[in-house]
Amino acid sequence: MADVRTLPDAEVAPDAPPSPTHVTIRREDYTPPDWLVPEIALKFTLELDKTKVQSKLTVRRNPTSATANAVLRLNGDELKPVGIWVDGTPSEAWEMDGDDLLVTLAGDAHEVAIETEINPSANSKLMGLYASNDMLCTQCEAEGFRRITFFPDRPDVLSKYRVRMEADEARFPILLTNGNPVATGKLDGGRHWAEWEDPFPKPSYLFALVAGDLKPNRDSFTTMSGRKVDLAIWVREADLAKTGHAMESLKAAMAWDEKVYGREYDLDLFNIVAVSDFNMGAMENKGLNIFNSAYVLADTDTATDVDFDNIARVVAHEYFHNWSGDRVTCLDWFQLSLKEGFTVFRDQSFSADTGSPAVKRIEDVRSLRSFQFPEDSGPLAHPVRPDSYMEISNFYTATVYNKGAELIRMMHTVLGPEKFRAGTDLYFQRHDGQAATCDDFVKALEDGSGVDLSAFKIWYSQAGTPLVDARVSYDPGSGTATMELEQRVKPTPGQPEKAPMPIPLKTALIGEKSGAEIAPERLVLLDQPKQSVRFEGLSEAPLLSINRGFSAPVVMRAQRGPHDLERLAQSDTDPFARYEAMQDLAMNLLTAGARGEEVDPEPLIRAVRNTLDSNALDPAFKAEAILLPQEALIAERMDVVDSDAVHRSREHLRHALGSSLAAELKRAQASVMAGADRTPLAKGTRRLRSVALDLIAGGDPAEGVRLAKAQFDAADNMTDRQRSLAVLASLDGPEREEALAAFLDRFKDDALVVDKWFAIQAQSQRTDTPERVERLATHPLFSLTNPNRLRAVVSQFAMNHWAFNEESGRGYRFVSDMIMAADRLNPQIAARLVPAFGKWRRFEPKRSALMHEQLERIVGTAGLSRDTYEQASKSLG
């Protein structure tokens, strides 16, 4: 059967046993589809445990395909055909090839009809059509459509969909799919039907269907050309009151995309549905976005400020995909960053424009450093546009998403907003209705702006975070300074040799005495291994302010001592650089402490005091600036990681700050804002309040307990409540268990808040945390099948650096037990837990061996999914 493939050639890795688990898909093997499917008509006879799917494909030989293949390959996954018809006649000219269905066709254009039967209730992978809380819903990206019906399930086959749904009306009063409703009707036996049509051709991964007893929050939006769009957010009746923020976010996102990108919504209807069991955050299905309820539902009492911000961000992200993803989609899954990196850049810009841009940038960089940098320096490192994969679900990574967004941000920085916009206008116009590539995107930016960006393409293909060294020397006699820059990228799997990359560095010089900008900001493009840059006309010694605004996603190693950093922390004119000076100051102390060196915390204490006392800084910025780097970030900077030493070092500094600045911190902690007030000032005040509380507890645990308990009891909002509970959860005394019990008792019926209850305990900084999470996994409210609940316990624990890396290996065993248990139900979710073990080579020998042992145990498990196998085997290296 090898000669009838229409999918990119699959290949068995040379030294692997010939198991379907080991098949590697390569980007270079792309071939256009042999057959196109301009139209598809689907009929669903819906039932929770037995749904009939009748599909009619209009197929046509692809004129641009190189081969004249008579065989139509339709992908399937755990499907059996009940019947197959070609041009209306039952056909025998088909066979199975593994999971795929091969139909032999005589001519160039046919109608192929297929019937399948599926069981949504038994679908624990939550891919394809599945049941959640008695409703039916779909998730098709990346390869879930093939679990519903046989189809060329690849993003470059675009079809017009016509869908008919039939179901019991009492159980499933609401029937939704993509596009617009065209007709509805009643059937015998209490059943009803609805027919919908989506006028925009789309790949199968954007198909969606929802059936259930849902209620809408309805609103409308009038587009810039004056068309009225009906909006609805569908939830269970009890949740209706929590949909207001998501609706406001949607309308804000629609207006923003018109204003900033000139992009208008294109259907008459836009639906969002919230579901409780969902593998991801949300999904951009055309006209019918499906969301994890965590990114829809919010009110002051149950959602934190971070939850509110995340909802706005995710709603905007999925909405923005209507253009960057749906109207222009991806040629193959290797181009995933074309839609995801770009859409993350768009949602980041949206959030920056609707809040504080400086604080938003700091948050985005912190998340890049916490998730993407470790990925890029570990065994799972891969380029933004990967070259191969076993399971595409494993490539929805921080690299594809966040580094992909940084790469677009760099091109935006180089072009400036107007030329960038000219480029995106051309991109959307040129590729509307097409499946495009990352190269197409860069080409459109170049053609639209008239600027050569070809050098930046290496960011798509070369993995690894560049390390940049910077050093400034000053000659007072001539008033000149010279900056020496050097870049290097360490080898990554499959890429032993690295080429220099173009690195745009926003740079300025700050006067050591005056604190003023003595050389104004300029954009330095570092594109050689070594480069030097001269600054003239200086009247005082300069301090280096570099990578301002984090203009390039690199590890910057600027040579600056504690005195310089303290000065910059006070006077740098770029807020990000100022934050960075504080972080560098703290990080230098923390890494020295972890190496067992004696450190002087005074410069940091003074800098934190200055920050707290400043009248010019807003509270959200202050909170970010004084927050000590997380233990995982400190560990990233160590040659050999000892997680106990890292923890001790951070605790030591936390104690020093908390005890030296008790008065200032208590003032910040006492500042109360009503929870319903979500202005940037109110959110920032609450954030600073909890950062201060955490430092106070570091200085004086008894005082920490007292203040945290008081904050918890008095809280009128989930932000103050959750953060005070998190502080209590790491301290001793009866208050901890009392508060945890009170919290659960009050919110036990609200799944999203119960998730917080589990997460707070999994994040707790206590020696008994590993034991506690083991017990949590046997709690009656724990669930292996609900992704949010599993993540609340296991992912949160795996990110708790000190507890997860507890030296007996108990934490490692727990997480790998959970991975193997989850793998049997939901491989995608299990595989996402594996990277927790990816750092095993960086640890001291004892922990290194214990982590390695768990990875080997996972890889050796019989019947392991392809998803988990790929992650675990690659992590072993």
Residues that bind Zn ion (CB under 5 A): 340, 343
- Cα gap 782→148, rounded to integer Å: 29
Q: Is 234 left (phi over 0), alpha (psi -120 to 50) or beta?
A: beta
Residue 168: helix, strand or coil by DSSP?
A: strand
| Least CB distance to ligand BES at residue 322 (A) | 11
- 288-292 and 329-330 beta bridge pairing: unpaired
The pair of three-digit structure tokens given for residue 802, joined into one six-digit string: 């000190």
Residue 316 CB coordination number (10 Å)? 25
For residue 573, give the DSSP letter: S
Which partner from the list ligand BES, Zn ion, none does 314 bind, CB cut-off 5 to 8 Å by kind? ligand BES
Task: Please report whether residue 344 would count as binding ligand BES according to CB under 6 A.
Answer: yes
Only segment of 192-200, 274-282, 486-494, 716-724 that touches ligand BES (CB under 6 A): 274-282
The pair of three-digit structure tokens given for residue 711, joined into one six-digit string: 């904050």
Residue 499: helix, strand or coil by DSSP?
A: coil
Only segment of 232-240, 314-322, 766-774, 850-858 that touches ligand BES (CB under 6 A): 314-322
Nearer to ligand BES (CB atom), residue 314 or residue 612: 314
The half-sphere exposure of 18 on its side-chain side, counting CA atoms within 13 A, is 0
Only segment of 38-46, 279-287, 381-389, 620-628 that touches ligand BES (CB under 6 A): 279-287
- 89-90 and 81-86 beta bridge pairing: antiparallel
**CA dist 155 to 400, 441, 870, Å?**
17, 17, 22
Nearer to ligand BES (CB atom), residue 205 or residue 843: 205
**Given candidates 142, 176, 577, 799, which one binds ligand BES under the rule CB under 6 A?**
142
Task: Please report whether residue 283 would count as binding ligand BES according to CB under 6 A.
Answer: yes
Nearer to Zn ion (CB atom), residue 44 or residue 345: 345
- Is 784 in contact with 821 (CB distance < 8 Å)? yes
Nearer to ligand BES (CB atom), residue 553 or residue 575: 553
Q: Which residue in the list 195, 318, 340, 363 is annotated as catalytic?
A: 318
- Find the farthest-apart pair of alpha carbons in the chain and give their distance in angstroms, rounded: 95
* Active-site residue flag, 375: no
**What residues contact 706, with CB distance under 8 A and at least 6 apart?**
none
**Given candidates 126, 135, 206, 314, which one binds ligand BES under the rule CB under 6 A?**
314
Of 178, 182, 228, 232, the residue nearest 201 (C-alpha): 178
**Given candidates 8, 181, 281, 357, which one binds ligand BES under the rule CB under 6 A?**
281
Task: Please report whether residue 326 would count as binding ligand BES according to CB under 6 A.
Answer: no
Which partner from the list ligand BES, Zn ion, none does 624 bind, CB cut-off 5 to 8 Å by kind? none
**What residues contact 28, with CB distance under 8 A and at least 6 apart?**
387
Residue 24: helix, strand or coil by DSSP?
A: strand
Only segment of 42-50, 223-231, 310-318, 805-813 that touches ligand BES (CB under 6 A): 310-318
Which partner from the list Zn ion, ligand BES, none does 572 bind, CB cut-off 5 to 8 Å by kind? none
- Is 267 in contact with 227 (CB distance < 8 Å)? no
Task: Please report whether residue 364 would count as binding ligand BES according to CB under 6 A.
Answer: no
- The full length of the chain comes to 877
Residue 4 CB coordination number (10 Å)? 16
Residue 129: helix, strand or coil by DSSP?
A: strand
Residues binding ligand BES: what is the number (CB under 6 A)?
17
| Least CB distance to Zn ion at residue 214 (A) | 23
| Least CB distance to ligand BES at residue 344 (A) | 6
Only segment of 176-184, 317-325, 439-447, 548-556 that touches ligand BES (CB under 6 A): 317-325
- Cα gap 56→42, rounded to integer Å: 6
The pair of three-digit structure tokens given for residue 809, joined into one six-digit string: 């290996």
Task: Please report whether residue 363 would count as binding ligand BES according to CB under 6 A.
Answer: no
What is the rounded end-to-end Cα distance, in angstroms, of the chain? 33
Nearer to ligand BES (CB atom), residue 142 or residue 331: 142
Print burial letters for 193-223: b (CB count within 10 Å at least 16), e (below 16): bbbbbbebbbbbbbbbbbbbebbbbebebee
Nearer to ligand BES (CB atom), residue 401 or residue 535: 401
**Given candidates 245, 313, 361, 721, which one binds ligand BES under the rule CB under 6 A?**
313
- Cα gap 460→341, rounded to integer Å: 11
- Is 540 in contact with 554 (CB distance < 8 Å)? no
Only segment of 155-163, 233-241, 312-320, 699-707 that touches ligand BES (CB under 6 A): 312-320
| Least CB distance to ligand BES at residue 310 (A) | 8
| Least CB distance to ligand BES at residue 318 (A) | 5
Nearer to Zn ion (CB atom), residue 280 or residue 594: 280
For residue 83, give the DSSP letter: E
| Least CB distance to ligand BES at residue 855 (A) | 24
Of 472, 457, 446, the residue nearest 535 (C-alpha): 472
Nearer to Zn ion (CB atom), residue 352 or residue 458: 352
- 269-275 and 288-292 beta bridge pairing: parallel
For residue 748, give the DSSP letter: T
The half-sphere exposure of 85 on its side-chain side, counting CA atoms within 13 A, is 14
**Given candidates 202, 317, 412, 801, which one binds ligand BES under the rule CB under 6 A?**
317
- Is 232 in contact with 218 (CB distance < 8 Å)? yes
Contact code string over 209-228 relative to ligand BES, x by CB under 6 A: --------------------
- Is 572 in contact with 628 (CB distance < 8 Å)? no
Only segment of 95-103, 313-321, 492-500, 552-560 that touches ligand BES (CB under 6 A): 313-321
Task: Please report whether residue 328 would count as binding ligand BES according to CB under 6 A.
Answer: no
| Least CB distance to ligand BES at residue 9 (A) | 24
| Least CB distance to Zn ion at residue 798 (A) | 24
- Cα gap 323→329, rounded to integer Å: 9
Nearer to ligand BES (CB atom), residue 344 or residue 365: 344
- Is 229 in contact with 270 (CB distance < 8 Å)? yes
Task: Please report whether residue 164 would count as binding ligand BES according to CB under 6 A.
Answer: no
Nearer to ligand BES (CB atom), residue 274 or residue 344: 344
| Least CB distance to Zn ion at residue 396 (A) | 9
| Least CB distance to ligand BES at residue 206 (A) | 9
- Is 208 in contact with 177 (CB distance < 8 Å)? yes
**Given candidates 34, 100, 141, 153, which one binds ligand BES under the rule CB under 6 A?**
141
The pair of three-digit structure tokens given for residue 696, joined into one six-digit string: 């106070």
Nearer to ligand BES (CB atom), residue 96 or residue 306: 306
Only segment of 52-60, 281-289, 606-614, 799-807 that touches ligand BES (CB under 6 A): 281-289
Nearest position to ligand BES, beta carbon = 281
Task: Please report whether residue 481 would count as binding ligand BES according to CB under 6 A.
Answer: no
Which parts of 284-303 interact with ligand BES (CB under 6 A)? Answer: 284
Contact code string over 377-416 relative to ligand BES, x by CB under 6 A: -------------------x----x---------------
Q: In the chain, what are the helix, strand and coil shares in percent, each to the nearest 5? A: 45, 25, 30
Which partner from the list Zn ion, ligand BES, none does 278 bind, CB cut-off 5 to 8 Å by kind? none
Of 556, 407, 384, 387, the residue nearest 468 (C-alpha): 556
**Given candidates 48, 79, 114, 280, which one binds ligand BES under the rule CB under 6 A?**
280
Nearer to ligand BES (CB atom), residue 32 or residue 281: 281
Of 242, 9, 65, 56, the residue nearest 162 (C-alpha): 56
**Given candidates 147, 202, 245, 321, which one binds ligand BES under the rule CB under 6 A?**
321
- Residue 825 pairs in a beta bridge with none
Catalytic residues: 318
Binding site for ligand BES (CB under 6 A): 141-142, 280-284, 313-314, 317-318, 321, 340, 344, 347, 396, 401
